[in-house]
Structure 1
């Protein structure tokens, strides 16, 4: 299973109080290497911010059990979506996410190189990530939980194995 995470640059926004005003954020490029080198992390990817399953179950589940993941030796937990940094920030704010880190893949570069970029034109989303989770140690994928039925324009939104409980069970072995 172990193969390397693709090398991409994520366009993120970070708080910078020196900017002042109502929007004290600046752009900061973060690479795959910055995130994954020398770390033990969980990444879960989902189709979109503010969408029903992602908002009601997927992200809140990981946020609620973040400390349990940390107790299993995980350094950080990332939520990845093919959304821009502004949308990911507002979504985290809306859900009061304070622990899980949001990882915007606005252009879908990481998702495409992972082989997880799918068309969701049937629901008006364009290109999005297929739902999956993975355990990554020092840039190497140790385990992936990919929802069944990976395809373009999937008529449903499977959410069976990329949940936090599946990841916790795997990490407990």
Structure 2
């Protein structure tokens, strides 16, 4: 399991970027690496069990979206939301959440919080955060809920719900991975 000081896994995220097209789905595939996202940058990443799920949709993503500008003002280059879902699902979830889409050619998603599709769970496994909810929710493999600050490919700070992974957990803890906890850490770290 990832801990403070750990290096993030080097993986390829299968993303979709906007292209010049009149098609109703004007996107093409683009591989984006962990290095491209996190090397030489200080980022907030929060991971959750699934797009369109209740806690993720009602609290976690909306909370970080609302706090985006304040988080960035505290020495953060970008804010990412990661889920073990594909690029198509992540885009539709962002649209359903009312996130403002970046319409620039070559853009990879939304203007504020960036949604990272980890459809094959490569990053999630590399972080040691893979969890299975097969008998409990029928999810299969997903990410355990966590949030972290990544500083030049290293975990600077990490918050993990429930103190660690609980496969087939009936509970869906959401106490330390919210935007308020992250803001409190960032404010204390900037003093």
TM-score surpassing 0.5?
yes
Q: In the alignment, what sits opposite 1:167?
A: 182
Counterpart pick for 2:71 among 53, 69, 72: 69
Correspondence for 1:152 among 159, 167, 171:
167
Q: In 1, Cα distance between the equivalents of 2:93 and 2:23?
A: 21
State the alpha-carbon separation in 2 of the partners of residues 162 and 150 from structure 1. 14
Aligned to 1:58: 60
Unaligned runs of 5+ in 2: 101-111
- Counterpart residue number, 1:112: 125
Q: State the distance in 1 between where 2:155 and 2:91 align.
A: 26
Q: Which residue of 2 aligns with 1:102?
A: 115
Unmatched segments (≥5 aa) in structure 1: none
SS in 2 for 1:172: helix
Of 18, 27, 30 in structure 1, the residue corresponding to residue 29 of structure 2 is 27
Deviation at 1:20? Answer: 3.0
C-alpha offsets along residues 112-137 of structure 1, whole Å, 9 cap, x if unaligned? 11110000111011100000000011
Structure-2 residue corresponding to 1:38: 40
Q: How much has 1:2 moved relative to structure 2?
A: 1.1
- What is the CA-CA distance between 1:41 and the residue it aligns to? 0.3
Give the count of matched residue pairs.
Answer: 172
